[in-house]
Structure formats: C-alpha cells, structure tokens
Amino acid sequence: MAKQKKAPKPKAQTPKGFRDYFGAEVTERAAMLASIAEVYYRYGFDALETSAVETVEALGKFLPDVDRPNEGVFAWQEEDSDWVALRYDMTAPLARVYAQYRNDLPTPYRRYAMGPVWRNEKPGPGRYRQFYQCDADTVGTASMAADAEICAMLSDTLEAVGIPRGDYVIRVNNRKVLNGVMEVAGLSGDDKEAERGIVLRAIDKLDRLGPDGVRALLGEGRKDESGDFTKGAGLSEAQIDAIMRFVDAPLRIKELLETQINEVEKHRAGSASTDTESSLLPSGIMDGLTSLKSVVPRIIEDLERSIAASGELIPTRSTMVATFRVLHEVVGASEVGAKGIDELYQIADLLEAQGYGPDRIVIDPSVVRGLGYYTGPVYEAELTFDVQNEKGQTVQFGSVAGGGRYDDLVKRFTGQEVPATGVSIGVDRLLAALRSKGRTTGEAEGPVVVTVMDRDRMAEYQKMVAELRSAGIRAEVYLGNPKNFGNQMKYADRRGSLVAVIQGSDEADRDVVQLKDLVAGAEAAKDATLEEWKARPSQIEVARGDLVAEVAKMLEAARGA
Amino acid sequence: MAKQKKAPKPKAQTPKGFRDYFGAEVTERAAMLASIAEVYYRYGFDALETSAVETVEALGKFLPDVDRPNEGVFAWQEEDSDWVALRYDMTAPLARVYAQYRNDLPTPYRRYAMGPVWRNEKPGPGRYRQFYQCDADTVGTASMAADAEICAMLSDTLEAVGIPRGDYVIRVNNRKVLNGVMEVAGLSGDDKEAERGIVLRAIDKLDRLGPDGVRALLGEGRKDESGDFTKGAGLSEAQIDAIMRFVDAPLRIKELLETQINEVEKHRAGSASTDTESSLLPSGIMDGLTSLKSVVPRIIEDLERSIAASGELIPTRSTMVATFRVLHEVVGASEVGAKGIDELYQIADLLEAQGYGPDRIVIDPSVVRGLGYYTGPVYEAELTFDVQNEKGQTVQFGSVAGGGRYDDLVKRFTGQEVPATGVSIGVDRLLAALRSKGRTTGEAEGPVVVTVMDRDRMAEYQKMVAELRSAGIRAEVYLGNPKNFGNQMKYADRRGSLVAVIQGSDEADRDVVQLKDLVAGAEAAKDATLEEWKARPSQIEVARGDLVAEVAKMLEAARGA
C-alpha cells in the first residue's frame, strides 16, 4: 500500500449496491455451483469462462452514441480506444464467443458458464449490482431434442443440489403457441407490434387482476380501485375471446381432467364404454402424438392413484394430454400455432422416453414470462413448497430458473442465423431455497480452537492442531494475545467452534488435555474465569495421546445436539 | 438482443488483453482452487468474497486527483458520484473489509479469497489484464505462529494439489535481517532510502550478474558487455563488505555444511572429539534456540544419511542451523537484525514441532523478492523440478507463491496499526506446473456420443444417453443435422470423445447397438462412409441391454490406451 501522506482517512465501505460475502455464504454457493457443474458436464456441456470485460460493441445492447453509454451497464472508455463494459449476462458473451471461434468449436456447441454479472441499476433491498448467474446453452441446432435435454438437465440439477422430486416442477410452453393465438385474434404482422405488447402485458397480469381485469385491458381499458384508468388494447369482442381462450386454457385443462376422472371412475365401476382410451385422446389430437398413446394405461393408473390418495389433481401424464387438447382448441387453424404445439409434442415425447414424466416436467400454457424475448419453446423451473413471505403469508417459493429458444443469437455478428436454446439458474434464489429447506445452514462450523495457556509452549499447541488437521478436523491455535483466557473463549464463540482444547503446565506435566464442549455452555462461558470454566460438566480430561480420537467423538456428539 | 437496424456488424472479439477459457482450462482451475480451499478451511481460514468493484478511495493506491485516475486500474466515475474501480488484488479489499467489519469479525481474522483481479497494464505474451489470485491472510496478530502456520499451510496446499514432497521448497526470510544488514552497513535512517533502493535492486540481480557484478553496483558502478555504464550506490569498501556478507551468506552456509560433514565423518571414524555437538552449534548461536538444540542428534543422522546416499547436500535441519550461524555473522550487533533472526528462530521452532522439516520449509537469506514491501517474515514457494523454458533450456520451474508480514494494512482506514501476514498463490503458474507434471492434461475427455441414424428414433437415442448419464457416464446425443454420418464422426472427434454409439433400424430390429472405439481410428474415420466405418475392428456389436456396461468397459480400455 502506498503511503497516503496527510490525505484524509478513506472510508471503509463497500460501494453502493455491492456487498461482501462471508464464510458459508461463499462456500455453500461454491458447493451448489460445483454440483450443478457436475450435472451439466455429465450432459456433455463444456465449461466456458469469458472475461468480465467486453467491448460495448460486442455486448450489443449499448452503443457508444452518447458520451457515456452506461445505461444499465458499467462502461468506460479505454485510453484512446474502445468503450468496454462489464458483462450484464452470460448470453451476450456466448454470442460473441460463438461468432469469434465458430470454426474451432464443435457444432452444436453445448456450453455452461457460471460467474458474476454486473448491472448498473438502482440498488434496492436484496437487489445488488453484482450477482451470480449460472447458464447452460446449446448453440447451433434447431432440434427440439436440445430443448428437451435442457429441461431434463434442469430437473436433474435441482435434485442434485437438494430439491427433492415433488418440490419442484418444470413448466414448458412455446412462444409459437402464443403467436398462433395472436394470429387467430388477427394480431399478427409487423404493424401490430404495439397491440401485441399490450396484450402480453395484460396476460402477464392475470395473477393480480383475474380474468375480468385482463379482459378489460384487452378491450377499452380498466379502472383500478383508486380510480386510475389504464387504456386498453381496444380489441373487438371476437379478438378478446380468442385471447381469453388462451388465458383460460389452464381452467379448461382442469375441466377436462375432471371429465377424465369421471371417465376413469366409470371405468372402475365397470359402467364405462370400452373406449376410455379414445375418450381421453380423441382421434384428431393424436396426429403426431404416437408415443404418448402408449401412456394412456398409465394415465388411467395415475388418475386412479390420484383419486385414491387425496382427490386432488397432481401433475400427471393426464394433464399433458388434456393440455394438448386445449392447445389445439386455442390456436385453431393457425399454422404457426400448430407448429408450436408440434414442438411441444416432440419435447413431451422425448422427455417421456427418458422417464421425465409430468411429476417433474409439464407442458403448461400459462408460462408467459419472457415469451416476448424467445422464439420457440420456453421453460421455467418453479419450486412448489411453501415458504413465508415478508408479510408472513404462506406462498409457494416460486421460480428459480428460466430459459428458452432464441434463434438470432449470433446473427448480429455474422449475418447468419444460428439457432440456440438455453437456461439460466437464479443462483441466489436457488441458494435461498436450499436454506429454507434446511439443506444448507448459511453458517459454517467453526474450527476446534486450541487455546494458549502458556505462550512458551506454542510449538506444542501447534503440534496438536497439526495432528487434528491431519485427521481432517478443522482446527487452529488461538493466535491473539493469550493473556485473558475469557477473550480466547469469546473468540471460540464468535468462530462458532464446537470444541476447545486446553493444556496448561499442570495438564502438560500429567500428559493430559482438557476438552471443552462449547455447544453446551457457550453463552455462560463468555465471562467465566478459568477456574469456573474448568468446573463445568461439559469439560472432560483425556490423555494427550487420545486428543484426536476424543475430539472427533465430542464433535460428533456436538453436531448431533 | 435488441435489433441493430442498419448498424454495421460488430466485431466478435475479446477486448485487448483479455482472454476466454474453454473446457478443461476452466474445470481444472476450479478443481485446483477447490483443493486449495479445502486445506485453507481445515486450517481455520474463512472464505471471503468481496465485490469486484471498490471505491477508488478504498483501493488506496489511486486517487481521483486527475480527471481519469486509471493508472494501473480499470476505473470509472459513477453518475454524479464516486470513482470506482475493479480490484487489482485481494489485499486492498481485505484491508477495507477488516476496517469496515472489525467489530463483528473474530480477531485474529483468518480469511482466504480466490477470484479474478484486473490490472490496466500493457498486455503481453502470457500477460493478461484479468487473472486469478488465491490468497490467505491472518489479520490482527503479531505472533510468529501466524507466519509459521501459513508456511505449513502452503506446504500442505502444494501437496494437496499434486506437487509431491521434494518437488518444492518453501523459503523463509525476514525483512528485519536485511534491515540489520543495512544498519551494519550504515544505511539505516529515513535519509538513506534512495541508497537502500539501489542496494536492494543490486542484490536482486545476483543471479544474473554474479557477486562481482553486485559488488560493482554497490560501489562506483558497472559497465555491461555492451559498454553501457550503470551508476552504483557509491558505498565505501566497509559498507560493501557488510552487504556482500549478506549476499554471500548462501555460500558461507554451504561451506559451513561441508565443515559439518567433515565433523560427522570424523565422528563416524571415531577420530572426532566427543564434542561434535558444540562444534555444530557453538554456544553463542544457541541463545534463544533452545528447541533446536534437541535436534542435533537428528542433524548428525540426516547428514550421515545424506553422505551415504549421494554425497550431495539435501535440505535438512543442518542447513537451518548453519543458516542461523551465518545470519548472526551477517547482522553483527544490529538490534533489528537480531530481532529478525529471533523471529526466524521462532518460525523454525514452530515448524519443527509440527514436523515441517527443511525438506519442505527452509530458512533462506537469499529470498529478497518483495522484501521492500514487507515488514517482517517473507516466504516464497518454489518448485524445484526441471522444465524446458521457451529457449529450450532446462531450468527449475521456480516460484508459484509468495507472501509475508505487512503490519500497516488497516492503518490508512482507522489510524490503528493492525499486524497481518499472508500468502498469495499464482494460480496460473501453479496450474502450468501441474500440467508440466502431468497432473492435469489441459484437455477434457469428450462425452460418449450417441449418433443419430434415424431421426424418428430420437426418443430412443435420448433414452440411451439418459441411461449412460445415470451411471455417471458423460454422454450426449448428436444434435446437429444427422444426414451426413461423416459429420457426426467429425463432431465426435472434435469433442475428444472416446466412444460413439450407433443404432440404425437394422440394429434396432435386432435389439443391439454398435460401439465404436474412437481412440483407435479417430484420424482415419473422418472421411469414412458408414459402411467403411462399420468394418473397422475397433467396433463391436453388443446387446442393447448391455449398453451401459459395455460402454463403461470400452471407456476404461480407451483411457488406458
């Protein structure tokens, strides 16, 4: 550090919107990312680490047409040279890399990337300007097998990091289905972009406003409770109906499932026609759905189990079949809509073959988030277990990952259209989920602290920790001023240590050590004198030669406590 | 990606001085860092991850007294606010964190940090503007036990990542010994800083110029082979002699060791006086060296073994004792010099107690690098095995880590002096060392590629990879256009795959698959037709049900090849 003569003292502060991560916050994230990387690797994805810095030109979104092009990114000008910026995501650098190395990279190129990204945005509670992203993308193939593979991989990944099956669901939709709906509603064509934007935003508000609110926004507009009026898309009744068939699709699917349940109940009671299969899957819908046909017996079985268990609908193959029926109703004669459904068929089919049933991955037309950005299939991983939100309400944990197909990734560099599909995991969200499931604690176990009773015998204390470490036990000698024994105990407490080791000259003469179980008496020990402290029952004396074995035993007991 | 209408195509290029890392370059570094973190953690060090961005004020070295304070760092001004910059090392952020959180952190605070740092310097071959650092520091204790601990940890770390004992040595010196030498040479005092600088630079050139060259630079100056003259420090003969005793210390130590060997040989021959012990350790040198005295019998043993083995001197306890004798000669009556030697004693003593002999860690006065920066002990890890340099010469691999004690880390923030000591591992250097030792390959093994012979049977191919992955085997389906079988083989080749799986309709009918060993025929296979390719002996047909077992067998064989 250069000397700062006479300069005022600098403030020791993290820059606004940034934060520091300590101990377990770092190691638990690292462990989670390592688990994820292992799954990605097994799926044939290769690691890629690009530099944090990119030229603004390559990042794309931001052009140096103003003096300081840092809208949303951290950017600066190199000496007499290019503007550069910190990457704001992992996708823009992937596009640059694929264009730059396309002759050397395999095609298709499966890559994963994990690391920090930076956003020059107004920070808020829990919103930081640097955060981790963890992406996997397949570049250079239009095959739906690539999308199906990423959905399967996402499922494996969630289970690998510790989210049990049943506590998550991956929902798949297709942008083209929505395009089909737009077509049916007479809203396709370049000149209708503004209307489509309003429609998309209206659909996205379904959760908050309900179907009637959405309907109002599609028509003349909507007055909210405060009296404020939001202008609508001004669609005709027929147009609105077409859109609302899409919005209502989840409800329709539910209805259909109830019908199916009735069919199954009749089937069980022996009163159904022998044609349960065709009532579940009317012939029209089966075009191109060959492999799903074979699952009908299992659909019936699933439904029976579902009815027997709780009467509630669980995500099953049956939902998938019902979904396809409703989607066919929704896109009508639209060609792009039919293409979208066909792509969803293919994905469902491939996933079915690999054993990923709707208990893990479902086709769900209600996935709208991000539809504006993507060009084909979109997918989203949602955690379905309950947590308390900040208001104390019980809510589902919600989305932790999302992605989809975006086919003009590399075009801006090369002019060539390169199909690609990929997913991004919200690292902090997933980590928070693991904490709320008790999979990680957010706190590291402190080391065994060997206290210093006699400064001249430091070498012997060091020998003790060396032995403990050799046995794989995290351990350290107290390296502060050893005079005040209470300070050594306070230190061990602050470290979250479970066990402390003491050996004064008396113990040394008798070739023994004292082991203190810190879990029992941590609070009380803070102000204890050495004598008081030794009197506690949670302390035992063991032979010096048994140090490692006895500490290991005590740690095991303390961890169980 | 926003549309860039009519804008010229951006260049797909990494910014100047930055680079991308692919596949094994990423995963091998990650694996190495994980091994290091495990050792650090076991020693009681806690992870810390600070943000990449710091205020320029907190970074310290660089003040916003010019319009653009980016000398050496990447810096920019926030909107109407502070200048911020990317961190250039891990130490400056540690100082900021310790000052900011000092009331909440344990004292002493042991922390490790690993991640990229950025330097705004002219890039060169192998010199990048973003690179990894991996640091461990103990803040808040002046105890030599902290320095000894870091040396021991560094030794454990090198072995943990795969550098075998004997292939490295950790050298320890002390800045105070040099200060003592300066005192003896009449070069202490604030007004002599310039001279000391010249002396330090001269000493640092010993390897290149030899003792006579250094001597010339300490005196009037030196003319090099091209006739250029470098002005010297202008010291008197007595001053030069004092410095040269330090420079010559390694030679003197060697002499002393040879004397000791003679003593031992006489001892063996029965012709020595009974006082071998005191001739090895004359009484004056033993002050404060109590614990080392007990090792004299082992010194003799080591020397005997060394003589018996090869006649060559290996680093042993004897070198350490000889070292202390010579250091006493070198610092004469200097108080600070004696303090430096005392600190080195303590470190040697503590390491000895933990079993870290001079086969791993030696006291070595020839360590000068970085002495200018540090205030007490300094340490350096050197790899001693041979490698070829760029000129094809055989050289020792050299330094991979260094550190030492720096006691005014936090002072600029709080005014309070906080003692600290720490080490930084050169991540790229150490990784290069592992590659040159064959510990890592720099190349990832490609996945098993399941080829696509029949696009309609994609679901079955996906099922195959799902089975392989479930067995922990890295596998993928070819997702490019399957029409040209040769392209599929080229792809597998580019991926570095060892095994390919084929199942056409013929094989499907017979419920078998073909497995191709790609190691054998990789080159030739590139342009083969399917028929030619199937004829190769490195291909076998197995039952579909045996897919996983047979692939595993073939992989094992291919890895051994």
Q: What is the 3-class SS of B176-241, one letter each residue?
A: HHHHHHHHHCCCCCHHHHHHHHHHHHHHHCHHHHHHHHHHHHHCCEEECCCCCEEECCCCCHHHHH
Average pLDDT, chain A: 83
Using one digit for the tens of pLDDT, what is the confidence trace for A393-414? 888 888 999 999 998 778 889 8
* pLDDT of amino acid B372: 67
Q: Which of A211-225, A349-363, A487-501, B493-507 has the lowest mean pLDDT?
A: A349-363
Q: Model confidence at A66, in pLDDT bands (50, 70, 90)?
A: very low
pTM of the complete model: 0.85
- What integer pLDDT is reported at residue B1 of this predicted model? 46
pLDDT at position A6 is 57
Q: Which of B181, B174, B175, B183 is nearest to B346 (CA)?
A: B174
Reply yes or no on whether the pLDDT at A342 is more than 90: no
- Both structure tokens of B434: 């592992």
- A229: β partners: A223
Q: Among partner residues A21, A106, A415, which is closest to B495 by beta-carbon distance? A: A106
Q: Which long-range contacts (CB under 8 A, 24 or more apart) does A523-531 make?
A: A525/A489, A525/A493, A526/A486, A526/A489, A526/A490, A526/A493, A527/A486, A528/A486, A528/A489, A529/A485, A529/A486, A530/A485
Q: What phi-psi label fits residue B244: left (phi over 0), alpha (psi between -120 and 50 degrees) or beta?
A: alpha
- Cα separation, A84 vs B153, whole angstroms: 39
Closest CA to B192 of B247, B233, B243: B233
Per-residue confidence (pLDDT) for residue A354, from 0 to 100: 85
Residue the block writes with tokens 């006579």: B212
- Rg, chain B, Cα only: 30
What is the band of A203 on the pLDDT scale with cuts at 50, 70, 90?
Answer: confident
Selected residue with higher pLDDT from B470 and A523: B470
pLDDT per residue as tens digits for the range B216-253: 999 988 888 888 888 888 899 999 999 999 888 877 87
Instruction: Tell which residue, A149, A167, A173, has the closest CA to residue A364.
Output: A173
In 3-state terms, chain A is what percent helix, strand and coil (to 5)? Answer: 45, 20, 35
**In the block, residue with structure tokens 């020998």:** A463
Angle between helical axes of A335-353 and A144-161 (0-180°, round to 10): 50
Quote the pLDDT of residue A475. Answer: 95
HSE of A192 in the Cβ direction (CA atoms, 13 Å)?
Answer: 14
Q: Which residue of A has its CA nearest to B466?
A: A354
Q: Closest partner residue to A413 among B12, B55, B82, by Cβ?
A: B12
Tokens 């060791």 belong to which residue?
A: B257
A-B contacts (CB, under 8 Å): 319
Nearest to B51 among A18, A79, A84 (CB): A18
pLDDT in the model for residue A325: 79
Cβ contacts of A105 within 8 Å, gap of 6 or more: A98
Cα nearest neighbour of B138 on chain A? A479
Nearest to A466 by CA among A488, A450, A479: A450
Q: How confident is the model at residue A287 (pLDDT cuts 50, 70, 90)?
A: very low
Which of A4, A16, A22, A295 is best to mutate for the B interface (most B CBs within 10 A)?
A22
User: What integer pLDDT is reported at residue A54 of this predicted model?
Assistant: 95
Which ipTM score applies to this complex? 0.84
pLDDT for A180: 92
Judged by CB atoms closer than 8 Å, whether chains meet at B48 and A466 is answered as: no
Nearest to B94 by CA among B429, B431, B423: B423
Residues B15, A412: C-beta atoms closer than 8 Å: no
- Among residues A276, A357, A273, A371, which one has the least CA distance to residue A319? A357
Contact list in A for residue B116 (CB cut-off 8 A) is 52
> What b/e sequence results for A144-161 when a residue is b if at least 16 CB atoms lie within 10 Å of its CB, and e otherwise?
bbbbbbbbbbbbbbbbbb
CA distances from A50 to A112, A270, A512 (A): 11, 63, 55
> Taking chain B (561 residues) in consecutive chunks of 10 residues, what is each chunk's mean pLDDT?
61 93 94 96 96 90 48 82 90 95 93 95 86 96 94 96 93 91 90 85 83 90 86 90 87 76 67 50 44 46 54 50 81 89 87 83 78 86 86 86 88 90 94 83 83 90 93 94 90 91 95 89 57 68 96 88 60
Residues of A in contact with B91 (CB under 8 A): 1
DSSP-based three-state secondary structure for B477: strand
Q: Which residue of A has its CA nearest to B114?
A: A26
Torsion-angle region of B227 (φ positive above 0: left; ψ -120 to 50: alpha; else: beta): left
Sort out which chain A residues have CB atoms less than 8 A from B2's CB and list them.
Answer: 60-61
Distance from CA of B239 to the nearest CA of A (A): 29
Average pLDDT rounded to a whole number, residues A285-292? 42
Rg (CA), chain A: 30
Residue with the larger pLDDT of the pair B546 and A322: B546
Chain A positions in Cβ-Cβ contact with residue B27 (cut-off 8 Å): 37, 41, 47
Q: Where is A138: in which H helix or E strand?
A: strand A130-139
| Most confident option among A4-13, A256-265, A475-484 | A475-484
Query: For residues A467 and A481, is the Cβ–Cβ distance under 8 A?
Result: no
CB atoms within 10 A of CB B387: 15
CA dihedral B57, B62, B67, B70 (to 10 degrees): -120
Contact A462 B116 (CB under 8 A): no
CA angle (B100, B102, B105) in 5-degree steps: 120
Residue in B37, B141, B412 nearest the CB of A479:
B141
Q: Which of A51, A106, A107 sits opposite B19 (nearest CB)?
A: A51
Residue A431, C-beta contacts closer than 8 angstroms, at least 6 positions apart? A28, A29, A32, A440
